[in-house]
Structure 1
């Protein structure tokens, strides 16, 4: 039954075919021109269907992230329909497969026929930037901006090109213009913060000026959390990412020299974001302060597994060698990190520190000055330039850079201390005392000993002694030797101050303590003078009881065995009572 039905259907189909053939033959014989038009219409209908199929599949594959599969279809589409739409679609596919030269060729052919095609100009701008053709990219960006002054993409690319050309002022203006048009433009605010184009005060002003809706205030708080390192972040705002809270608290603890708490916070943060640059750099800085070389080695080994973050791995290796005081090899790795990413500010600063540690002042100065041009908002670059000029006794030039840094960060203790050192070396003692007091008062945690804090304490005590304020100087010197019991120069300075104040026996005790730690010709000479003076005073009937008003220990309570027991190794973090010397520590004065 089914077989008979199938034969019937087949006969009907054959009959229809014969009928159509007959009709076409009649049309061809009777109306030859109409037959030609009919064939042409069939061809155009077939081509239209083919073009639509090619276009839809090209767009589908491009949306699905398969540009390599979409490229042959786009090429065929341009052959069948070589119009602007097809060429722009092909240019978009070429952009996804990273054939930037092909994108430029396709875009220029479109712009030749349509000079105001904004999509073609946008693709040409992106392709030129990827090819590092700054001049061509800037031309496309300016052209796009002229077509539409509110185009945020054009403003951002103008800023990028200005950065690469060294015109940071133009870059800042472009990014600020983009933020006025679109306050949610993350590319502009990221460039301002990450590239250090503005100092903290200027960045806060820009962030406060953003016209964000009330529902997006958490975004403003997150921007401020990225630039404020020491502000209290104990009250977590709703919507503020946890990683920013941890990062801000870790920076605050690091500023207070609470290295263990800071390390625990960065360790927790790296569990969520193991390759976050800010977190990794802060973690490495803490480990360098602790001289935890094994931990630095492990961190460098972990980062080296990621090829996408090669600059972080190289920077970590440099930190490892820096902690071992192998500054020459550390400098090589820091230099390589700057080559991999020219906007890596931490690597630039560390690279300059390596030259400074090697007493290569000219090379260090060149690196610091280059970092100033890359990061105009980073005030520490100006500080280090001023320090290098101060080392070669170029006082006026050094003061210019230090004052510039002071304008950007008026409460930075490193800047205040260095200005005080500069005034002290130019014999302006009252001005030096003022800046040393300001530096001490601006310490985030003056009770917690650290290399930087102890340096300021020693400088402040030295200025007080030179100005005749012996009692206050003795109190600061006593605080210094309490935190650094193995610092012979501290005991020598304390003894010298007692000597000037007339407390000969206390001076002798501190001279002995200093010489038990380290032999020094000046201290030995002053001890001889103090012993000679003490012999004359004892003949006159003076006693020790008259000289114990300063709260210092009696010479009878200090012995060589007591002093030797206070000398403790800094080889491990657990045994150290203060942080290891940081690369950015200011200098102490010669007492």
Structure 2
């Protein structure tokens, strides 16, 4: 009988080990329902251990039975003595959006000592560190869900410092715009890679993390180290980073080529999609965006990016109510999805609903502390409501975060122009242009910067530098040949130079493109009036029966290009400036197109 009991015990132990191997195998291939079934049988053995309980709870977690998973651990009090069990129980409550309960479980450890003093049944110190990092990461997510972003930042930093491989913590900090450029770089420099990995691994991790940091602050070419280029040159994450840099350089055609390549290799790549959607907007690819938006909604109805794409489409076709409805759904699904908040504000700004637009931008500013775009758009709204002091204040705050962003410098120039500080405006505009030219490899600037070139021309006209002003306006004409505002601006400069025939020619071109251009109409009438007066003066003064040589001599000495009292009457300074003000406002506003943040 004793031998029979021993055989039964051996058989039972062998069967237990067999069942454990089946559970592990099923979990590895994602068959959690099957793994849960056999795990339940293992727990019927009297000699099951914490690892068996942990595996069953993990199966329940992956099956989205979060309360059962937490109860499986807490009912046996394993969360009080084992950090892995505590982490899984807290994570289950977090997934169920029960943040208070998750904190209570994580805080149980305070009654048993710190994380370092607890007894963990872990194989190595590395596993210990990784698990502690996961706990810090979870705390960061909980604080972020509770809108306590300062605490969230601290815990995300701790998670990354504990485990240099914890990319999720870096992604939360960078993609959710929790840190500014300097803070991101300081964090990266504070990670002790050498204590956690060898030299080559450290170089690889540091390069990959650097490629993930703010792109608009340094949208230069991404250079892959030679020893990594053989396997990273076609990596979808690296290509996505490169595409985002092209986007911030306003090189949308190059950007769309890269995003298409990424989405071909990795369809619906999470980080690439917002960039791709924004690029489709800039290139006015309405049909492609319509198709993509509906595919995403069908496949991923719980993703904020899906509804964001639909909102972008309706914004493009000027259906603002529908756009706001879908963008609101995107922010409901992901409250920290910055691009949706920005575009939601744009939908109001397009309709000149400044208060609602600023409310959305202020919300985005609260969520995106490290991003300058909400501050830039708040400044724009204040500028459009003629509150130049507040506009300049927010532009300066945006400039402090992104000192090398030409969009911010351009808007500061616009404000200086409006308050008649033309020298300061010229300084801001040329600084922005120099930054753009430093970043561009091509000889021709992207069309996006046509308003900046035109505005430099306007400032130079104000400074009485007419020849230089014409040069910049004609450069803008190369970038955007069908912009009636540019033709009007060139005609206006010619009018100041008393070259009325040239002015009339350009005003006619402006009216051919835009018949209701009031500035061009007004200026055309004034120039035609002056030309008629000029011709009548010649008719009155020229001798009728003189030789051809005498007439040429007379015309050469007539000095018609000099200013006269008649010119002053026909070309009054104040009247002309009022005539052009509306046109310049339109031209300045054209530079304020939607500039999207690409955080997924």
Range into which the TM-score falls when normalised by the shorter chain: 0.7 to 0.9
Which residue is 2:101 aligned to?
Answer: 136
Query: Is 264-273 or 461-470 further displaced after alignment?
Result: 461-470
- In the alignment, structure 1 residue 231 sits paired with structure 2 residue 220: yes
Contact 2:19 2:42 in 1 (8 A): no
Residue 159 of structure 1: CA displacement? Answer: 1.2
How many angstroms does 1:581 deviate by? Answer: 8.6
CA–CA distance in structure 2, aligned partners of residues 72 and 519 of structure 1? 75
- The Cα of 1:542 is off from its aligned counterpart by 6.4
Contact kept? 1:303, 1:309, Cα under 8 Å? no
Q: Is 1:218 aligned to 2:204, yes or no?
A: yes
| 2:164 match | 183
Aligned match of 1:259 in 243, 252, 268? 252
SS at match of 1:225: helix
1 CA distance for matches of 2:57 and 2:445?
62
Q: Distance in 2 between matches of 1:100 and 1:415?
A: 47
Residues 392 and 138 (structure 1 numbering): CA distance in 2 closer, same or farther, change over 3 Å? farther
2: CA distance, partners of 1:546 / 1:345: 62
Aligned residue number for residue 106 of structure 1: 72
1:447-500 C-alpha deviation (Å, 9 max, x unpaired): 535453011112222122223232222221222234334333322222222222
Q: Secondary structure at the match of 1:479?
A: helix
Displacement of 1:228: 5.4
Q: Select which of 386, 405, 410 maps to 1:417.
A: 410
Matched, 1:147 2:114: yes
SS of residue in 2 equivalent to 1:64: helix
1:483–1:69 CA distance, 2 compared to 1 (3 A): closer
1:524 to 521, 525, 533: 521
Measured at CA, do residues 91 and 52 of structure 1 come closer, stay the same or move farther in structure 2, by a change above 3 Å? farther
In 2, are the aligned partners of 1:270 and 1:279 still within 8 Å (CA)? yes
1:247 Cα deviation (Å)? Answer: 2.4
Pairing 1:424-463 to 2, within 5 Å after superposition: 424-443=417-436, 444-445=439-440, 448=444, 450-463=446-459
1:324 aligned to 2:317? yes
After TM superposition, where is structure 1 displaced by more than 6 Å over at least 4 residues in a row?
Answer: 41-45, 540-548
What residue number does 2:123 align with?
Answer: none
1:58/1:70 contact within 8 Å kept: no
Shift of 1:54: 4.5
CA–CA separation in structure 1 for the residues paired with 2:457 and 2:142: 50
Q: Give the Å deviation of 1:82.
A: 8.9
Q: Which residue of 1 aligns with 2:63?
A: 97
Judge conservation of contact 1:228–1:248 (CA < 8 Å) in 2: no
Counterpart CA distance in 1 for 2:304 and 2:343 is 13
The CA deviation at 1:274 is 1.1
Displacement of 1:72: 5.1
1:270-326: CA deviation from partner (whole Å, max 9, x where unpaired):
111111123222222222222122222333344345237744433333333333233
Aligned residues: 516
The worse-fitting range, judged by mean Cα deviation, of 292-301 and 275-284 is 292-301
Would the aligned equivalents of 2:413 and 2:425 in 1 still touch at CA under 8 Å? yes
CA drift at 1:129? 1.1
Structure 2 distance, partners of 1:126, 1:155, is 12
Cα 1:233–1:170 change in 2 (3 A) is: same
**Aligned match for 1:121, one of 68, 74, 86:** 86
> Which residue number in structure 2 is paired with residue 303 of structure 1?
296
**8 Å contact 1:386–1:400 — kept in the other structure?**
yes
Q: Does 1:361 align with 2:326?
A: no
Alpha-carbon contact 2:87-2:106 (below 8 Å) kept: yes
- Bigger shift: residues 166-175 or 306-315: 306-315
Cα displacement (A) at 1:208: 3.7
In the TM superposition, residue 152 of structure 1 has moved relative to its aligned partner by: 0.9
Does 2:462 correspond to 1:466?
yes
Q: 1:97 to 1:301 in 2, by over 3 A?
A: closer
Aligned to 1:584: 595
Q: Could you tell me whether the CA contact under 8 Å between 1:292 and 1:323 is conserved in 2?
A: no
Cα 1:300–1:544 shift into 2, 3 Å: farther
Q: Distance in 2 between matches of 1:68 and 1:245?
A: 37
Residues 449 and 483 in structure 1, CA contact (< 8 A), matched pair in contact too = yes
Q: Is this contact kept in 2: 1:57–1:70, CA < 8 A?
A: no
Query: Is 2:232 the counterpart of 1:240?
Result: yes
Cα distance, 1:92–1:493 mapped onto 2, change above 3 Å: closer
Corresponding position of 1:514 = 510
Higher deviation after alignment, 453-462 or 250-259: 250-259
CA spacing shift, 1:401–1:135, aligned 2, 3 Å: farther
Q: In the alignment, is the contact (CA less than 8 A) between 2:491 and 2:503 conserved in 1?
A: yes
Question: Contact between 1:256 and 1:448, CA under 8 Å: does it hold in 2?
Answer: no
What is residue 494 of structure 1 aligned with on the other side?
490
Moved more, 160-169 or 295-304: 295-304
Q: Measured at CA, do residues 535 and 72 of structure 1 come closer, stay the same or move farther in structure 2, by a change above 3 Å?
A: closer
State the shift of 1:410 in Å: 0.8
Root mean square deviation, CA, Å: 3.5
Q: For 1:525, what is the secondary structure of its paired residue?
A: helix
Q: Distance in 1 between matches of 2:321 and 2:79?
A: 57
Stretches of structure 1 that go unaligned for 5 or more consecutive residues are 1-19, 21-37, 549-578, 586-591
Note if contact 2:23-2:36 (Cα within 8 Å) is conserved in structure 1.
no
Pair 1:545–1:471, CA change in 2 (3 A)? farther
The structure with the larger Rg is 1
